C-alpha cells in the first residue's frame, strides 16, 4: 500500500499560466464536435459567450461516459478474478450443491454480457440492487458508510487544508531560515512514514500509554455528536499528518515560483510587508496548482483511507468495498467503485473551475 495520496491523476507541473490537466480527462477536444450546421454554430456562440458554462457542460457529458467505462472495467475486473461469488462466499465449506444453489439464485450461470446489462438497467434507474452476501439494500448500506467516510474526511480536510496553506505561506516567508527548515523536516518525516505506522504510533501513545484518546474509532447510530468527535480524533490526526505535507510543499513551491516574478519585485520596491505581498500578490497567481493538489488530497481522504479505516476499526466506505471485493459481491463493488470515480471526477472538475475563476487567462486555452 502506498503511503500518502500519491495515487490518482497526474499533476500539472504547477507553472502558472498553463491550463491544469488531469489525466482522467486529458485532452479535452480542442474543437467541440458539431453535430450539424445549426447546432454547431449555436454551440460555438455559446462557448464564446459563456466559456465557463460550456466547460462545465462538456465536463459533465464526459463524466457520464467515463462512469460507464469505469463500471465496465470494474465488472471486467471482478470477472477476471479467480473464483466467483458462490465459491468465494462459501470458502472452504463450499459443497457443489450449495454452490449450484447460489449460482442459480443469482443468475451467475448466465453469460457475463447479459448480467452486466441487467445490472446497468437497474443502475441507470438509480437502483443498485441488493448485496448478494448480506441481502441488504446496497443504497441503504452505502448511505450509512458514505456518511461515515465523509464525516471523517470533512474534519480531516477542515484541519489540514488551512493548516497546509498557512504553513506553506509561513515557509515562504521564512524561506531557508529555521521555521522553514523545521516545517520541511517534520512534513517530510510525516510523508515518509506509512500511514498505518503513524496510526499505530498514535494509538500506542494516546490510547494505550496515556489513555486520553478513544480507541477503537467505531461509530454507530446511537452515538451523540461529541462521542463521535472523540471517536474520530485519532484517525483524523493520522489523516492530517498524511496529507498535510503534500499540500504544504506544493503551496510553498507554487508561491516561490511566483515570488521571482517582476510584479512581486515591484511590490517589494513599493515597500509592502512580506506577508501582504505573499497573501495579496503572489498567492492568487499560484492558486491553480495548489487547488489541484488540494482536490487530489480531498479525493484521497474519501477514497484512499482503507488502511486507516482498518487500523482504527472505522466503518467507512473503503472497508465496505474491500469486504465486498473479497467475496466478489458485485453489486456492492460496482456501487462503491462508481461513487469513488464520481468523487474523483467531481473534485477534479471543481479544481479546474476554481483555477479558471482565479486566473481568467485559463478560460481560453490556446
Partner 1 sequence: MSDYKDYLTRQVMLGKMNRREFLGRAAAFGIAASTASTLFATSAAAQEPKRGGHLKLGLEGAAATDSKDPAKALSQFMFVVGRNWGDMLVESHPTTGAPVPALAESWEPSADAATWTFTIRKGVKFHDGKELTVDDVIKTLQRHTDDKSESGALGVMKSIKEIKSDGDKLVLTLTEGNADLPLLLTDYHLIIQPNGGLDNPDAMIGTGPYKVASFEPGVRATFEKNADDWRTDRGFVDTIELIAMNDATARIAALSSGQVHYINRVDPKTVNLLKRAPTVEILNTSGRGHYVFIMHCNTAPFDNNDLRMALKYAMDRETMVQRILGGYGKVGNDFPINDTYALFPEGIEQRAYDPDKAAFHYKKSGHSGPVLLRTSDVAFPGAVDAAVLYQESAKKAGIEIEVKREPGDGYWTNVWNVQPFSTSYWGGRPTQDQMYSTAYLSNADWNDTRFQRPEFDKLLLEARSELDEAKRKEMYRTMAMMVRDEGGLILPMFNDFVNASTKQVKGYVHDIGNDMSNGYVATRVWLEA
Question: Applying CB under 8 A, which part among 36-44, 83-91, 282-290, 357-365 lies near partner 1?
Answer: 83-91
- The C-alpha cell at 325 is 471485493
- Is residue 323 within 8 A of residue 88, CB to CB? The reply is no
Which position has the grid cell 463493488? 333
Nearest-angstrom CA–CA distance, 315 and 309: 7
Minimum Å gap between C-beta 327 and partner 1 is: 5
Among 193, 313, 342, 358, binds partner 1 (CB under 8 A): 313
Nearer to partner 1, 319 or 359 (CB): 319
Using alpha carbons, list the distances in angstroms from residue 298 to 14, 77, 98, 195, 204: 18, 26, 44, 16, 27
Among 15, 41, 118, 136, binds partner 1 (CB under 8 A): 136
Nearer to partner 1, 35 or 139 (CB): 139
Question: Applying CB under 8 A, which part among 129-137, 182-190, 240-248, 269-277 lies near partner 1?
Answer: 129-137
| Contacts of 127-131 spanning 24+ positions with Cβ under 8 A | 128/331, 128/334, 128/335, 129/331, 130/331, 131/324, 131/329, 131/331, 131/332
Nearer to partner 1, 95 or 125 (CB): 95
Nearest-angstrom CA–CA distance, 157 and 217: 18
Question: Applying CB under 8 A, which part among 46-54, 91-99, 240-248, 268-276 lies near partner 1?
Answer: 91-99
Among 2, 13, 79, 105, binds partner 1 (CB under 8 A): 105
Binding of partner 1 by 98 (CB under 8 A): yes
Nearer to partner 1, 245 or 333 (CB): 333
Within residues 316-345, the interface with partner 1 by CB under 8 A covers: 319-320, 323-324, 326-327, 329, 332
Nearer to partner 1, 24 or 323 (CB): 323
Please choose, from the candidates 264, 294, 298, 297, the residue with its C-alpha nearest in 3D space to the C-alpha of residue 279: 264
Within residues 48-67, the interface with partner 1 by CB under 8 A covers: none
Binding of partner 1 by 139 (CB under 8 A): no
Within residues 161-200, the interface with partner 1 by CB under 8 A covers: 200
Nearer to partner 1, 184 or 214 (CB): 214
Binding of partner 1 by 87 (CB under 8 A): yes
Which burial class, exposed, middle or buried, applies to 358 when counting CB atoms under 10 A from its CB (0-12, 13-18, 19+)? middle
Nearest-angstrom CA–CA distance, 75 and 69: 10
Question: Applying CB under 8 A, which part among 10-18, 238-246, 308-316, 349-357 lies near partner 1?
Answer: 308-316
Binding of partner 1 by 42 (CB under 8 A): no
Which residues, 6 or more positions from 193, have their beta carbon under 8 angstroms from its beta carbon?
3, 201
In the shown chain, the binding pattern of residues 206 to 235 toward partner 1, with x for contact by CB under 8 A and - for none, equals -xx--x---xx-x-xxx-------------
- The C-alpha cell at 158 is 477542515
Count interface residues toward partner 1 (CB under 8 A).
Answer: 52
Nearer to partner 1, 174 or 215 (CB): 215
Nearer to partner 1, 222 or 260 (CB): 222
- Is residue 363 within 8 A of residue 51, CB to CB? The reply is yes
Other residues' Cβ atoms within 10 Å of the Cβ of residue 291:
22
Nearer to partner 1, 86 or 301 (CB): 86
CA 30 to mean position of chain CA atoms: 27
Binding site for partner 1 (CB under 8 A): 81-83, 87-98, 101-102, 105, 131-136, 141, 144-145, 200, 203-204, 207-208, 211, 215-216, 218, 220-222, 310-313, 315, 319-320, 323-324, 326-327, 329, 332
Amino acid at each position: 500500500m502506498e503511503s500518502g495520496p500519491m495515487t490518482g491523476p497526474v499533476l500539472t507541473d504547477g507553472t502558472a499560466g498553463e491550463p491544469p490537466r488531469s489525466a482522467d480527462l486529458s485532452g479535452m477536444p480542442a474543437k467541440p464536435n458539431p453535430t450539424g450546421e445549426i447546432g454547431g454554430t449555436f454551440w460555438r456562440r455559446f462557448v464564446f459567450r459563456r466559456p465557463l458554462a460550456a466547460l462545465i457542460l462538456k465536463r459533465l457529458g464526459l463524466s457520464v461516459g467515463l462512469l460507464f467505462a469505469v463500471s465496465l472495467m470494474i465488472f471486467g475486473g471482478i470477472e477476471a478474478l479467480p473464483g466467483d461469488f458462490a465459491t468465494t462466499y462459501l470458502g472452504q465449506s463450499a459443497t457443489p450443491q450449495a454452490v449450484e444453489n447460489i449460482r442459480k439464485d443469482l443468475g451467475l450461470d448466465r453469460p457475463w454480457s447479459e448480467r452486466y446489462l441487467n445490472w446497468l438497467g437497474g443502475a441507470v434507474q438509480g437502483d443498485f440492487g441488493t448485496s448478494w452476501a448480506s441481502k441488504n439494500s446496497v443504497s441503504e448500506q452505502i448511505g450509512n458508510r458514505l456518511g461515515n467516510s465523509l464525516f471523517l474526511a470533512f474534519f480531516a480536510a477542515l484541519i489540514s487544508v488551512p493548516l497546509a496553506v498557512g504553513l506553506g505561506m509561513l515557509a515562504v516567508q521564512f524561506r531557508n531560515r529555521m521555521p522553514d527548515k523545521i516545517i520541511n523536516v517534520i512534513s517530510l518525516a510525516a510523508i515518509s512514514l506509512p500511514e498505518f505506522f503513524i496510526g499505530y504510533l498514535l494509538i500506542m501513545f494516546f490510547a494505550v500509554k496515556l489513555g486520553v484518546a478513544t480507541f477503537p474509532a467505531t461509530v454507530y447510530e446511537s452515538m451523540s455528536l461529541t462521542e463521535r468527535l472523540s471517536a474520530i480524533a485519532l484517525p483524523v490526526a493520522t489523516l492530517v499528518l498524511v496529507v498535510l505535507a503534500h499540500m504544504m510543499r506544493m503551496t510553498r513551491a507554487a508561491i516561490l515560483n511566483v515570488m521571482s516574478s517582476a510584479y512581486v519585485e515591484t511590490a517589494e520596491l513599493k515597500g509592502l510587508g512580506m506577508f501582504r505581498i505573499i497573501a495579496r500578490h503572489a498567492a492568487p497567481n499560484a492558486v491553480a496548482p495548489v487547488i489541484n493538489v488540494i482536490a487530489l488530497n480531498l479525493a484521497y481522504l474519501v477514497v484512499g483511507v482503507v488502511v486507516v479505516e482498518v487500523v482504527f476499526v472505522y466503518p467507512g466506505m473503503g472497508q465496505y468495498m474491500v469486504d465486498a471485493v473479497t467475496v466478489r459481491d458485485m453489486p456492492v463493488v460496482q456501487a462503491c467503485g462508481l461513487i469513488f470515480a464520481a468523487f474523483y471526477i467531481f473534485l477534479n472538475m471543481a479544481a479546474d473551475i476554481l483555477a479558471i475563476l482565479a486566473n481568467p487567462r485559463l478560460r481560453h486555452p490556446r
